[in-house]
Amino acid sequence: MCLSKREWRTHLIGIVRTNRSYVESENYTISAYTPRARYDVMHIMYFTTAYESGIFGNRIHEEFLERLHAAGHAVSVFVPDAKRRGGARLTLAAGPVPVARAAVSANRLDRVANLLSGRLVHYDYFATVLRSYCAYVRAHPEIDLVHVESVYPLGAVAALAGGRPFVPTIRGGDLIADDAIAYGFARFRSVRWLLRLTFARAALVRAVSPGARDMAIRYGCPPDKIVVVPRHLRDDCFVEDVAAARTKCRQLIEERHKLMDRKIVVAVGRLLPVKGFDDLIRALPMLLQRVPDTTVLICGPNRTDPQLGDYASYLRRLMNEREVGHRVVLVGAVPPEQMAEYLAAADAVAVPSLIEGGNKILVEGAALGTPFVATQTAGTIGFFDESHGFSIPPRNPERLAVALADLLSDQEAWQRKSAACLNQRVQFHADHVTTEMLQLYQDVLQHRHAVPYGHSSTNSDQNERLNV
């Protein structure tokens, strides 16, 4: 099926507009939305790509939403469901925070739309998520504002749909464009256009780090539209007796990996070029010259890179070339509930990423008192300074080795940095982040965007400039 880009676009738009009986089904009764004069109690819809109650990885979402609910606000979750085949288009799970799941691959028409979406805008479910979102928002006039968990693809969905003010969260990967390592949505022209549209139509934009803010500005987001609010850490990251927790975790990891009397450096992430683990391996021979008892634990699931193939195999070849295979452990995927054990056990957290919008491992390690060596492009490093760890340029194994050696060989300096990291962690507590996000929502509803997209002259001007 050989179609031009214009033909792909025409087909995609046509599919989004089809199946109107679905929009007007009993689950999607269309109602009118009218902005209110006051928002003492807000109804916030949390729009995310995945939400599975009871799973450890979902706790960061649940803890945030529970706090919004405890503050007296109505909260609901809207999430696409790509697994369900047939049956009702929409399922609702009741509770203090109700969860609506919209089937986005339920039948053959959906799957054709998904194929077209993948070809045109590089996110398979874009058209079907857009259709579901439009229908749901139109059916629920009580929703005041949409919290969107990405700029792309979900922020672009909210921008095209209109109907409510929305605040997208810049996560990082949605704004990365690196052709050399084939990484990031923003490599694609259609996505870059949708990013500009999203920034133009968003009420405000939440950046999870100073680095993410800088990335958004490079893609045309007005600086005064961006508010930096970090992601909060899970409650279990805030240990009262940190020293006791570190001792216990150290014993666990030493026994698990047979690492008695070693300096332990932990690096975490999917095995992909963007994480810079190859630079960490290249740095290791120089590091071992100064700190010969060092072992590096690389924690994360393996991935296949388009250029390098199986990435774990590539890293092993590099270890053998550098003769450091005996000092590197590829741990593999670590259950989320065990990650704190590795971070608390470490003498240093290494974050050699080429570019990231919001590396959470750096922050989680700091909250457990582990200093870091991180690249200047790691995103969340902007919340810290030299009193907490070391900042180095990306793609510089020599500087990485020197910084790790300096950190591991000076115990007094290590203690000072560890204490400074612990003092900094309060800004990442869920209570603090929730307070900042509530202020952001109030600012949107009371001062920035009292009427939904489509009714404001400001947005009309933006549309004219973007030719949408």
DSSP H helical ranges for 4-125: 5-17, 20-23, 59-70, 108-121
User: Which amino acid belongs to residue 320?
Assistant: N
Q: Which residues pair with 309 in a beta bridge?
A: 305
- Consecutive H or E run containing 441: helix 430-443
At residue 219, the 3 state secondary structure works out as: coil
| Residue whose C-alpha is closest to residue 199's, from 243, 150, 236 | 150
- Range with the lowest mean pLDDT among 23-32, 101-110, 260-269, 328-337? 23-32
- In sequence order, which residues have a C-beta less than 8 Å from that of residue 67 and are 6 or more positions away? 430, 431, 434
CB 175 within 8 A of CB 219: yes
> What is the number of other CB atoms lying within 10 angstroms of the CB of residue 424?
17
**Are residues 121 and 152 in contact, defined by beta-carbon separation less than 8 angstroms?**
no
For 444, counting Cβ atoms within 10 Å of its Cβ (0-12 exposed, 13-18 middle, 19+ buried), the class is buried
Model confidence at 452: pLDDT above 50: no
- Sequence-separated (6 or more) residues with CB below 8 Å from residue 173: 183, 184, 185, 357
| Residue % of the chain over a pLDDT of 70 | 87
Q: What is the pLDDT of residues 323-368, one digit of tens each?
A: 999 999 999 999 988 999 999 999 999 999 998 878 899 999 999 9
Q: Which domains does the chain have, with CATH numbers?
A: 9-20+29-232+431-466 (3.40.50.2000), 237-427 (3.40.50.2000)
Locus of tokens 């929730």: 434
Report CA dihedral (428, 56, 267, 187) to the nearest 10 degrees.
-80
Provide the 8-state DSSP code for 178: B
- pLDDT digits 0-9 by tens, 130-181: 999 999 999 999 999 999 999 999 999 999 999 999 999 998 777 877 777 7
User: Dmax over Cα atoms in the chain, in whole Å?
Assistant: 70
Euclidean distance between CA atoms 312 and 154, whole angstroms: 31
Give the Å distances, CA to CA, from 245 to 73, 238, 322: 35, 11, 35
pTM, to two decimals: 0.86
Cα 389 from chain centroid (whole Å): 23
> What is the dihedral sign for C-alpha 247, 248, 253, 256?
positive
When pLDDT is averaged across residues 77-104 and rounded to a whole number, the result is 92
